[in-house]
Chains A and B, each alone.
Chain A
Amino acid sequence: MNRRDFFSWGTAGFVALCSGVAVSLGAVVRFLVPDVFYEPPQVFKIGNPGDFPFGPPTFLADEKIYVFRDRDKGFAVASAVCTHLGCTVNYFQSDQKFHCPCHGSVFARGGDVIHGPAPRPLQWFEVTVTRAGQLQVDKDKVVPDSYRLMV
């Protein structure tokens, strides 16, 4: 083997070694990303339309949503997760606003930020009626705050 071959093969070997290490590291990081999430489903049924009263929204704790039912406007579903750092906001009927207990963000009934560090309005999710007549929420489908389901 001459000098030129030695360096060619040496370089090739070094590059191969480095890529091997890089691929292995990438595989380790990929290993840490789960392919299956054992988390609550994003699409779920919340019950019959008649279960929900008019007036103040109903808080569903497990799903972390507020279900609004207005006499003329129909159903709307708001996320109860504060857009700042993920605390669960509380709705107060007295001032008709959402208050976040963690850092004091205040959201209007429509979800807009009135006060505090929250960077975005609360999210609204699509709500539909299944064939069996039940309400179904899809958290993957974010809708504008004007969205209403008339039943």
Chain B
Amino acid sequence: MNIIDTIFKFNGGIKADTKKSVSTVRPIKKIKMPKQLILPLRQHVGKVAKLKVNIGEKVLKGQLLAEADGNVSAAIHAPTSGTVASLEKQLIPHPSGLPDYCVTLIPDGKDTWVEKKPINWKKIDRKETIKKISESGIVGLGGATFPTHLKLNNNNEVKTLIVNAAECEPYITCDDMLMREKSAELIEGIRLALHLLGAQNAIIGIEDNKPEAIEKLALLIKNDANISIKIVPTIYPSGDAKRLIYLITGIQIAKGKRSTEYGMQMFNVATIIALYKFIHCGEPSITRIITITGKVRTPNNYEVLFGTPLSDLIIDAGGKASQNGSFIMGGPMMGYKLPSVNVPVTKAMNCVIDAEPEMIENNNPVLPCIRCAKCAEACPVNLQPQELFWFSQSNQFEKAENYNLFDCIECGCCSYVCPSNIPLVQYYRYAKSEIISDRYAKEEADIARERNDFRLERLQREKEERAKKIAERKANTSSDEKSKVIDEKRKAITEALERVKQEGVSEKND
């Protein structure tokens, strides 16, 4: 066993009241089968999954409902056995509050599994295994929902697997509870992930506020020289990938580079357990652990099927699933307000806070920026948030980009410390999405320009070819023949005109 103590502290970050203990007193709970499951077809980064079943079809638990469309996409499986009732636009957990396509599944209550196909990963080639994983629907369960098979399949040689167990955001405890209750699966999963990555050693990066989980994991890896634990201090946002890598290894990942270029790859604990379940048990990604906390009477962690209505969980935890409630998905720092409590649980949903309205509505007056630079001190990415704010609020996007707007991880530390209560991150998100849509428009314009250029070129070519043909024919036919041909043509045209006229008359008469 290895517990490493030396850490490399990053600049900034905040120490907030974590409010985690309320939801860790009870074990992970399951609720009874909901009346219906609503499965959005886009629960991941990348292309929308393609529906593979018909409406009205009976499906078994774990059966493929929608397959990945291309490489950057993820499949969706039936979380239980039942009937596919519909495919329609429904409200999904998305900051826009706009509906998106969802499959509705009515459970039959039998929960019958499709034939499970565990994979003997030690026997077959690892490329083969990774290919199978691309059909598993597993995405990063820390909240980023990036398809996992893409992270396993990379061209760089990976030496170290970093297991992200930091869970730095306040309120969220789903990874903590998962590590306490499924530590054996996690360690097995880490061994599996090491094999798939071709990596030698794994480091579990965990915040010091999870002593129980650390103890359990330490016991399991006592005799394993390849897996070590690194305890990091509880400073938000230690769970951000680049921050955690720096905390553990002291290596800073440069702008625009990936951690794999430095021989490292990172997975969240929940993702590793999902991998374990898929390979060892043949179970695709159909459940996750979610923290329900905040105002509810009994804050708790639940193991839920994807598609479970959030309102069922809120009611079970002793909360009010009312439309007027304020529910935050994710943590208080990076999360967003859900459009309604009537949304399904998705792959990205790690935590829902039944929040006091004050937590969302910024009731403190927003005052002008006094350039105190507290935000710059708090920024864990070493950006200049006050400058970014200035450029974003005045729509000077190019300048904002020059100040590395896209390196901002939207952790919210700047907004948290701002004495003027400026919602800084909201400005950055606004600026980022404006820039991204501009880029997209530019790409589209470039395609249109290219197509227009090609069309003009084609028209020009056709014109030239026609001119050439006419010239050739002119040269070939003598003037006598020519006049004959022209006469014939004229005759044909007048005949045709007569015909059209007559037809037109008869049509009018009709």
Do A and B actually bind? no
Residues of chain A touching chain B, judged by Cβ–Cβ distance below 8 Å, are: none
